[in-house]
């Protein structure tokens, strides 16, 4: 059984052990104990010292195996990106050109340097131990954050993004970085990735402000624009089921897609329910699986069954109650673990243009 809870300073060694196999591309969690320690301290302050509106709080959570205490996953939320230190991206634009004289059409893709000073919120830093990866654990780790947001809604921006990990191999090779980044920064990808976490200032100092024409890049560099790392595909699908869509932005160093959603329309947030526990059952009972979190005290979440009783109260198992440190009369917030499948009528199925939803302009 697993729980998800806020990270603490005592978790540093466990986090370092978890990240041993993380490879390159997990930009926000470098395998540097000093950087991680500072982020853990920042996270602890975010949970306890905050205003009535988002100011860039950084909430970090760990997924813990309840009976062993082993940390098997980590995930995070930033209440608002930007501020004094902006976040940097490329904005994709596709321009359609046509010559009737020679009967030719072509699309020109350009990347525009883009920075954000004033929000939105961001979910980030998701990593699950490879030995524990399956559809249930990955989904639980990802979606648990939305119950925290639902419970603390006023502390987050209206929109929320997720920057998906791009195509970087285990040795830190990025064809896009080789074609673009090295021309301006003169350092390799792993070092740039590490420096970006410590201080982003060098990006704006060295990055050209004019557009980059993607069509002029080597084919392997063009191919990875807007693509996610194979290990990140499941996480992207989960978020798309929650209502996230491509924003038109990609990462700056390895251009994975940035997806976005209105925070109040994220499925788990929108469908989550708060109710009171009036029965704790020692015996097993029939129920679909829910993500369940406590509403008072420190955030804790787990998976379990919930039954709504005729009296209006809720029944949970004694195992769930123990995992979340709950008693009779306590409130919980819960949401269905998986979205309900929508039935499609064959007569109403339409063909959809699956190209990225980028800004399009037509020129002749």
Domains in the chain and their CATH numbers? 2-267 (3.40.630.30), 272-336 (2.40.40.20)
Active site residue 229: yes
H-type helices in the chain, by residue range? 12-18, 33-48, 135-151, 175-176, 182-185, 189-198, 201-206, 219-223, 233-241, 267-271, 318-324
In degrees rounded to 5, what are phi and psi of residue 343? Answer: -80, 130
In angstroms, what CA-CA distances link 222 with 108, 109, 123, 226?
Answer: 12, 9, 26, 9
Q: Quote the pLDDT of residue 187.
A: 84
What is the spatial distance between Cα 163 and Cα 133, in angstroms, rounded to a whole number?
20
Per-residue pLDDT of the chain (364 residues; tens, 9 = 90+): 999 999 999 999 999 999 988 766 577 888 889 999 999 999 999 999 888 889 999 999 999 999 999 999 999 999 999 877 889 999 999 999 999 899 899 999 999 999 898 989 999 999 999 999 987 999 999 999 999 999 999 999 999 999 998 888 766 778 999 999 888 888 887 788 778 777 778 888 888 888 999 999 999 999 999 999 888 899 999 999 999 999 999 998 889 999 999 999 999 999 999 999 999 999 989 999 999 999 988 999 999 999 999 999 999 999 999 999 999 999 999 999 998 876 554 544 444 444 444 455 555 5
Residue 19, phi then psi, degrees to nearest 5: -80, 0
Q: Which tokens sit at 11?
A: 């978790």
Of 95, 112, 117, 229, which residue is the catalytic one? 229
CA–CA separation, 147 and 124 (whole Å): 15
227 with 164: CB under 8 angstroms?
no
Those residues with Cβ within 8 angstroms of residue 248's Cβ, 6 or more apart along the chain or in another chain: 91, 92, 356, 357, 358, 359
**Residue-wise pLDDT tens digits, 146-190:** 999 999 999 999 999 999 988 887 667 789 999 998 888 888 877
Give the C-alpha distances (Å, rounded to integers) separating 203 from 97, 195, 196, 258. 32, 10, 8, 18
Q: What are 136's two structure tokens? A: 């249930």
């Amino acid at each position: 059984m697993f729980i998800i809870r806020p990270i603490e300073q005592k978790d540093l060694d466990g986090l370092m052990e978890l990240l041993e196999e993380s490879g390159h591309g997990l930009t926000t969690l470098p395998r540097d104990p000093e950087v991680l320690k500072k982020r853990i301290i920042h996270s602890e302050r975010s949970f306890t010292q905050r205003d009535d509106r988002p100011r860039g709080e950084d909430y970090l959570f760990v997924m813990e195996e309840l009976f062993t205490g082993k940390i098997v996953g980590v995930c995070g939320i930033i209440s608002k990106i930007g501020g004094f230190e902006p976040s940097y991206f490329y904005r994709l634009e596709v321009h359609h050109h046509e010559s009737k004289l020679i009967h030719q059409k072509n699309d020109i893709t350009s990347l525009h340097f883009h920075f954000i000073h004033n929000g939105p919120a961001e979910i980030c830093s998701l990593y699950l131990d490879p030995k524990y990866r399956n559809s249930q654990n990955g989904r639980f780790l990802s979606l648990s954050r939305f119950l925290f947001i639902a419970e603390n809604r006023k502390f987050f921006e209206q929109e929320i993004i997720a920057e998906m990990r791009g195509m970087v191999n285990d040795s830190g090779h990025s064809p896009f970085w080789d074609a673009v980044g090295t021309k301006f920064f003169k350092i390799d990808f792993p070092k740039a990735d590490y420096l970006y976490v410590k201080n982003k200032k060098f990006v704006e100092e060295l990055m050209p402000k004019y557009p980059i024409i993607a069509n002029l890049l080597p084919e392997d560099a063009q191919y990875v624009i807007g693509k996610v790392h194979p290990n990140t595909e499941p996480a992207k699908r989960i978020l798309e089921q929650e209502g996230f869509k491509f924003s038109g932005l990609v990462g700056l160093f390895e251009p994975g897609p940035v997806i976005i959603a209105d925070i109040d329309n994220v499925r788990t947030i929108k469908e989550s329910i708060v109710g009171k526990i009036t029965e704790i059952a020692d015996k097993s009972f029939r129920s679909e699986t829910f993500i369940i979190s406590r509403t008072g005290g420190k955030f804790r979440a787990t998976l379990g069954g919930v039954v709504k009783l005729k009296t209006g109260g809720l029944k949970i198992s004694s195992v769930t109650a123990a995992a979340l440190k709950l008693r009779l009369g306590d409130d919980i917030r819960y949401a269905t673990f998986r979205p309900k499948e929508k039935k499609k009528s064959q007569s109403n199925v339409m063909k959809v243009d699956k190209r990225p939803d980028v800004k399009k302009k037509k020129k002749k």
